[in-house]
Structures are given as C-alpha cells and as structure tokens.
Amino acid sequence: MSDPEPCRIKQEDSEEQIDLIEANEGSEEEKQVEAVKIPHLQTCGIFFIERREKKCFTFTHCWKSFRRPNNHITIHNGEKAFTCDRCGKSFTRKERLKEHTRIHTGEKPFACAQCGKRFGCSSNLKQHMMTHTGEKPHKCDQCGKTFLKPSDLISHLRVHTNEKPYSCSVCGKSFTHQQYLRKHQKFHSGVREYVCFECEKTFIRVEELKRHQRIHTGEKPYKCSHCDTSFSQIQHLRTHQRIHTGEKPHKCSHCDKRFTQLGVLKTHERIHTGEKPYTCDQCFRSFTYSLQLKKHMKIHTGEMREMSEESVDG
C-alpha cells in the first residue's frame, strides 16, 4: 500500500489541535532514530510510534504527535465513520458531524461580540471577526494583494495563472469561477427567471434586470466628476468621460483616425470598406449610414416633395 499524502491540520481543527503536541523538538537525526515502525501498532497501513516519556504517539507520515491517536488516524486512511442521520453525509470526526448537524437544526451557538451575528461553528466566527479587525492573513505572492479567506486567494491566483477550471459542457467555454459558469449556462438553457413588473420583460441575469428598471425609474446613479452629467449605466459614463480626458481608444486600421466610441469607429470604417448595410425596401438602393436611408425614404413617402413645395410657397 502506498503512503498517503502528508497530513495537513486545517485552521478549523481547533479541538484536534488541543491534543496536538509539538513534534518538532530535536533534530531530524533524532527523529529518524525514533522513527522505528512498530508492527503491532500498525493500523490500516498507518504507522505511528509510542513515546512513553511524553505519553503520546507520533505518526511517521506527518510527524505530528497526539495523546489520543485514534481521531487523527482517520485523516490518513480517509475513513468516515460518523454519518448524519438526516442527509447521509459522512465525516471523519464526531466533532465535524456535530457542526454539520447545526445546518439542519439551525443552531448557532457562536456569537460575534462586535455585531451579534451568530454562527454554527467557531471557525466561521473567527473568520467573521477579521471583518471587524480588517485582518486579511492570506497574501498573494504574485502581486501582494491580501484576502480574508484562503478560498478567495485561490480564486484570485487564477488571474495570474490564467487557469480556467470550469468548462461549459455545451460550448466548451471555460471560466475562472464556478458562478461565472452558472451564469453562462443560463444562455444555453434560455431560462429568463428575472421579470420586470413594470413591463413584464424577462432577463437571464439579475444585473440586466436592474439596468433595465432604471428606464422606468429614471435613476441615473453614475455621475460625471467633471460636469455633473449623470447616466443610468456605467459604460455610458465611461464613454462620456472621454470627452473630458480626450481619450480615443478606438483606432481605424485604414487611416489611423481615432474615436471615443467603438460604434462610431465601425461606422467610419465603411468609408474604407464601401459597405452599405442600409437598403431601401422600395427601390433597393443601399446607403452607408442609417440617416442617409431615412432621408431617401422621404422621396417615396412624398414627404420630400411636400417640404420642397412649402419652401417654394414660402
């Protein structure tokens, strides 16, 4: 049987750490002398040695020592002897099952002394307390950014590694976070669960609904710091601010002319490509710009003739 992975005591293993005795005393040579595998203490391929002078047992896999080794053995052999009688989920330790049961009972015995918020396990309370102290112990070794939770750091590291572990089973597109994949999958399913109660229009994402509702409310939360003009959408504000900054990020590939908006650039490029996407349904004449088509249509409707006659009469 191959040796299991080295043990890692997690931060929330507070009760197990009570039994944990520093096994790092002495040099590596001393450890090697003591690391005699005693056959009659072998349990499921897991070896540990008895240290009678310290009244404890030291595991040769991870060199952690405990007064009561039985709980720690399950970390190495993966045995989950404690099962929830409500949902069937199993755990390696009795304490973990006890914490899990609180999900079903709703019990939250650990309260924050600062704001009174309650939690089902002590580790969640400890993590919450950091929001009051401002402590962010998990630091990115690439850019120095710090995070409250280790899971947040792991997610952030994908910015540097470009890792995208979550893939769409329909189109194969990959994402850095699972929640981004879930949002993307709604486009394939066509589920439009967010409904505007004003006009009954439906949306796939809640962000889209919120943006749409500003049409009805007239809310414009994005305000220009230069001229106090307000906008309903942040991308409209960003485009507007280029008037003040002079930024023109969209460059024509044909003549080096630059524009503040992508749509204006695409319209301009038709001068070079000769594209005329607007076609009259009466005479099938095509035009480069929509305004040209609108003006042309007045010829067919007679509006142009009437305007000309009014000009003569005047």
191 in a structural domain: no
One domain for residues 304 and 227: no
Domains identified in the chain, total number: 3
Q: For position 31, which CATH number holds? A: 3.30.160
Q: What are phi and psi of 223, to 5 degrees?
A: -110, 135
Q: What are phi and psi of 134, to 5 degrees?
A: 80, 10
pLDDT, mean of each 10-residue run, the chain (314 residues)? 41 43 41 39 47 59 65 66 88 84 90 90 86 88 89 87 89 88 84 87 87 92 90 89 90 91 90 92 90 88 61 48
- Residue 301's domain spans which residues? 278-313
One domain for residues 258 and 306: no
- What's residue 42's pLDDT? 43
- What's residue 31's pLDDT? 40
119 in a structural domain: no
Q: What are phi and psi of 174, to 5 degrees?
A: -110, 155
One domain for residues 53 and 18: yes
252 in a structural domain: yes
The residue among 107, 134, 158 that closes a domain is 107
The residue among 107, 132, 147 that closes a domain is 107
- What's residue 54's pLDDT? 54
Q: For position 255, which CATH number holds? A: 3.30.160.60
- What's residue 204's pLDDT? 84
One domain for residues 5 and 55: yes
One domain for residues 232 and 298: no
One domain for residues 4 and 59: yes
The residue among 107, 134, 151 that closes a domain is 107
